[in-house]
Structure formats: structure tokens, C-alpha cells
Amino acid sequence: MIEVKHISKSFGEQKVLEDISATFEAGHTNLVIGRSGSGKTVFIKCMVGLLEADQGEILYDGRDFIKMQRDEKKEIRKEFGMLFQGNALFDSLTVEENVRFPLDMFSTINSKEKKKRVDEVLHQVNLEGAHIKYPAEISGGMKKRVGIARAIVLGPKYLFCDEPNSGLDPKTAIIIDDLIRQLTVDLNITTIVNTHDMNSVMGIGDKVIFLHQGRKHWQGSSKEILHTDNEELNNFIFASKFLKELKKGALG
């Protein structure tokens, strides 16, 4: 479980996050949604320590991340897995080497066991047969899967996904969403997904937090989101003409 208490972050005079508190349960997919520039990425970067929050607490199963020393942070990060918006795969390594990298760096198991573990996670993300390909040789959806495989290969307790569907066609996006959902439940990990994709919200949003102008404006489940009277959230969800018409039809 991750608890975030009163997190704030500014860049100079500009306040990007203001007093955000939330609780993210294990075994659930927790979605952070909001418009571009609402502070979603800064929020997730503060949570993993790529940016330092100005104030507040981030508790990983009770352990205060912000108060930790550099070495302690390094240790707890071994429990993190992260899928980046641009995948952040290592260009000079093959798919297999990318996935094996965390094992090579931190694991003490022998190479036969490493190979077995890499095969296992590549099977979990439906990516058998791509071992020797380089990131430049595979599609966007496959890159996302390699990113997920690398994020889960060490068996993380916390999984962070920054815009996992960006640049993907709707069908592939659903496959990636389902994969994230399935891994969250199967491995009982705490997953936080940054997104502005409404398909993801409706498909896998066990808990949804809506950020607007750096503040938490709403929180609830994907079922509750359709019936909310929060004006900003409604403007965000029903921004497209198609969804507006659909809502009108449903209400009519």
C-alpha cells in the first residue's frame, strides 16, 4: 500500500502540485487522470523520487520515502517497477538483454535461472520469439510490453506506469491495459497508472484520482465517474464530441 500525504511541488513561482493526499491499495489499479499539464507526471516522478517533493509524506507500507537517505532510497527502489511514457528501453541491448538487465545488476541467480526468468516474464507479456530483436526493430505495442516485462522481472511490489497507452492504437491500448490489470491482480502489486485515456479509466480504473491545475479535484471508482457532478471532471471526460453525443443519448 502507498499513502501520499499533503504532497506539494513547485518549480520556482509555479505551483505544480498542491496538497495532494491519496491512498493506493495493493492488488488494485489506481489511475491518476487529468489534462496535459495538470501535474500527473510530476506527481508520479515525486512518488518514485525522480523529483523531490517540497513537502508532504510518501509512505511505502509505512516507510517514509521522502525522509530516506540516498542509500535507503536506492534500496527501496529495487521494489519499484516503472513503465515510462517513451518506454526508456536501452537501444544498444536486445529485448532479452533489456529484460535481463535488472537481474544482471541485482540478482545472484545463475545465468540459466536468469534465462528461465526472462522467458517467463516475456511469456507473461505475450512476447515470445522477440528475444534477439533490438528496440528499433519492434512495434510500439511490443516496446510497451518489453518495458512492462523489464519492470516486473525482479518481482516489484509497486508498479508505476506513465501514460502506458500513448502512441498506441485503441486495440493495442486495450491489450496493454488488460496486461497491467492482470499483472496487478496476479502479483498483488500496488499499481499507479497516469493516463488521460478514457478507455483505460473505464476498463481498469479500480480507483481514479482526477488532478486539475495541480490539485486533487475528485476521487472515486470508474463506475462513479459517469455520474459525477464535478464540472471540471465532466469537461475532461466528455471533451470529445462523440462522448458528448453518447452521454446525451444515454440520458435522453
Check binding of 155 to another protein (CB under 8 A).
Answer: no
Among 25, 61, 64, 104, binds another protein (CB under 8 A): 104
What Rg, from alpha-carbon coordinates, does the chain have? 19
Amino acid in the structure at residue 220: G
Check binding of 48 to another protein (CB under 8 A).
Answer: yes
How near is the Cβ of 75 to another protein at its closest, in Å?
Answer: 7
- Cα-Cα-Cα-Cα torsion 59, 63, 69, 73, nearest 10 degrees, comes to -80
The x, y and z cell numbers of residue 161, run together, are 506506469
> DSSP per residue over 81-125, as a string?
EEE-TT----TTS-HHHHHHHHHHHH--S-HHHHHHHHHHHHHHT
Nearer to another protein, 134 or 238 (CB): 134
Check binding of 82 to another protein (CB under 8 A).
Answer: yes
Check binding of 134 to another protein (CB under 8 A).
Answer: no
Per-residue interface string for the shown chain with another protein, residues 163-182, x marking contact by CB under 8 A: --------------------
Nearer to another protein, 49 or 141 (CB): 49
Q: Choose one: 87-95, 116-124, 176-184, 200-208; the region binding another protein (CB under 8 A).
A: 87-95
Check binding of 50 to another protein (CB under 8 A).
Answer: yes
220 with 228: CB under 8 angstroms? yes
Angle at 20 between CA 45 and CA 230, to 5 degrees: 115
Among 8, 10, 21, 85, binds another protein (CB under 8 A): 85
Of 52-81, binders to another protein (CB under 8 A) are 74-78, 80
The x, y and z cell numbers of residue 94, run together, are 536486445
Check binding of 89 to another protein (CB under 8 A).
Answer: yes
The x, y and z cell numbers of residue 122, run together, are 516475456
Strands 55-60 and 63-64: antiparallel
d(CA 244, CA 231): 14
How near is the Cβ of 77 to another protein at its closest, in Å?
Answer: 4
Interface ranges with another protein (CB under 8 A): 48-50, 74-78, 80, 82, 84-86, 88-91, 101-102, 104-106, 160
